[in-house]
Amino acid sequence: MTDKSMLVVSAHSADFVWRAGGAIALHRKNGYRVKVVCLSFGERGESAKLWRKGEMTLDTVKAARREEASRAADILGAEVEFFDLGDYPLRVSDEALLRLVDVYRDVQPAFVLSHSQQDPYNFDHPLAMHVAQEARIIAQAEGHNPGQKIVGAPPVYAFEPHQTEQCEWVPNTFLDITEVWEVKRRAIECMAGQEHLWEYYTRVALQRGVQAKRNIGITAKRDIQYAEGYMRLTPAVVGDLA
């Protein structure tokens, strides 16, 4: 067991499952406390299948999305908090920003996962990363709510966007999630409102698994079948470059 923790800032209520479900399940298995913040439910722009059923309202779609994300988080072993800020467009007030700062100080994450810094197909995603980084900086400030425990400098990773090239996202870190893949797949299958993405993100995990294996050498005995790609945005400070 460990006393370490991690934080995931997700623009919509399904993003953390597709893009970081393996990291969540793996680190929870290793004893981490895992906290997920969903800034919105993705009720307007991420729930086409639900809207096509007819006679839907924002509240009923939100309820369905909350239920899906809660079940997925339970499977992955994560705590999940819904800010319910709305989507398409997502807007983050100072009040919501400072609420996220409070989460940082409570969780004291060893690292943070959020979206790519650019995404011409979905402006909610880079906004979520911007807010995640801004809240991290405020949480480090001694003068913000003096007396609270500040956070250190947790590394920030951008998880994989849907259109990598257009988002200028280049993976520089691969996480082997083979041992928890079945857990992630079960969480993926909770997201009934976006069933069309189930097989897509299975293929992504297989592709990243091949790339991860290549980057440890094809003669290595470690068998990597599934992986997640991340783009580390903060420098790594090391004592050895091996």
* Total domains in the fold of the chain: 1
> Is 241 domain-assigned?
no
What string of pLDDT tens digits covers the 242 residues of the chain?
579 999 999 999 999 999 999 999 999 999 999 999 999 999 999 998 889 988 899 999 999 999 999 999 999 999 999 999 999 999 999 999 999 999 999 999 999 999 999 999 999 999 999 999 999 999 999 999 999 999 999 999 999 999 999 999 999 999 999 999 999 999 999 998 888 899 999 999 999 999 999 999 878 888 999 999 999 999 999 999 98
Compute the distance between CA of residue 219 and CA of residue 112 in angstroms, rounded to an integer: 32
> Is 141 domain-assigned?
yes
Angle formed by the axes of helices 58-76 and 15-29, nearest 10°:
20
> Is 239 domain-assigned?
no
CATH number at residue 222: 3.40.50.10320
Compute the distance between CA of residue 242 and CA of residue 235 in angstroms, rounded to an integer: 16
> Is 146 domain-assigned?
yes
Q: Which residues contact 173 (CB under 8 A, 6 or more apart)?
A: 157, 229, 230, 231, 232
> Is 228 domain-assigned?
yes
Phi, psi of 22 (to 5 degrees): -70, -45
Structural domain including 10 reads: 5-232
CA angle 147, 131, 113 (to 5 degrees): 95
Compute the distance between CA of residue 205 and CA of residue 171 in angstroms, rounded to an integer: 13
**How much is the pTM?**
0.96
> Is 240 domain-assigned?
no
> Is 176 domain-assigned?
yes
Which residue in 73, 96, 91, 85 sits closest to 41, CA to CA? 85
> Is 216 domain-assigned?
yes
